[in-house]
Amino acid sequence: MPSDPSRDLRFLKGYAFATTTLLVVLSLAAFREPKHPQFDEIDVGRINIVEKDGTPRLILSNKAQYPGLIIRGTEYPHPRGQAGILFFNDEGTENGGVGTSVAHDANGYHADGGLMFDQYMQDQTVGLVYTDDNGRRAAGLRVWDRPDIPIDSVIRRVQAIRAMPDGPEKTRAMEALRDAAGKTRVVVGKMRDSSAAVVLADAQGRPRLRLVVAPGGASRIEFLDEHGKVTRALSGTGDSSSH
């Protein structure tokens, strides 16, 4: 029996329509499929955000898996006893972070937290800091003056000093290294005695000017010499004194 051309045409049209519809449905399904795994909630000890070549850029970690000091991708032992977030620059060197910790002992507790930004190839140069020693709390902005010594050379010096036998020479070497590590130049915040203050220091880290508002509201401006002695003070009442 000869085929009916009109029926064949209807069949081909129906086949083409069905095939096209199926392709459209599959395309839409593929388009809506998430490109990455999705989770409502995960438990994880540490997350490393890295570039395609493995250079670290961000690390979120618990206390147990918190990394040491990472400089240009090389990690040096540096226990910190905290959990938090570390930021890294294009060279894979730590350049700031967010950290928090709390510890208990026979005298009570010590808690702290901070948001820090580091000088290039050095330690933190500006930060928001909170400390709490059993209820004696301080919080505020701090600015440090760091030397031009690269931090990796400082780490090598620390390792060499730690390898020295215990004694006065080792103690002096470590104190000299700390003294060269940088000084606090600016503090703005609430102090442990509940006063609010602005403290400005010289290049040696010695406070030279203090603006203070006591908990009760009394205010004063103090000028200090290199030994920390107040040489002149102005009170909020307009009285002034020199020493």
pLDDT at 3 exceeding the cut of 60: no
What's the DSSP call for residue 165?
P
pLDDT in tens, 195-238: 999 999 999 999 999 999 999 999 999 999 999 999 999 997 76
**For residue 85, how far is the Cα from the chain centroid?**
6
Number of domains in the chain: 1
Q: Which long-range contacts (CB under 8 A, 24 or more apart) does 13-17 make?
A: none
67 in a structural domain: no
pLDDT value at residue 11: 59
pLDDT in tens, 105-125: 998 999 999 999 999 999 999
Query: Alpha-carbon distance 194 to 89, whole Å?
Result: 37
200 in a structural domain: yes
Residue partners of 211: CB distance under 8 A and separation at least 6: 197, 198, 219, 220, 221, 222
223 in a structural domain: yes
The confidence band for 159, taking pLDDT boundaries of 50, 70 and 90, is confident
193 in a structural domain: yes
69 in a structural domain: no
**For residue 196, how far is the Cα from the chain centroid?**
24
What's the DSSP call for residue 147?
-
92 in a structural domain: no
Comparison of pLDDT for 18 and 90, the residue scoring more: 90
pLDDT at 130 exceeding the cut of 90: yes
7 in a structural domain: no
207 in a structural domain: yes
- Per the structure, the complete domain to which residue 209 belongs is given by 184-243
pLDDT in tens, 35-44: 778 889 999 9
| CATH code where residue 226 lies | 3.90.930.1
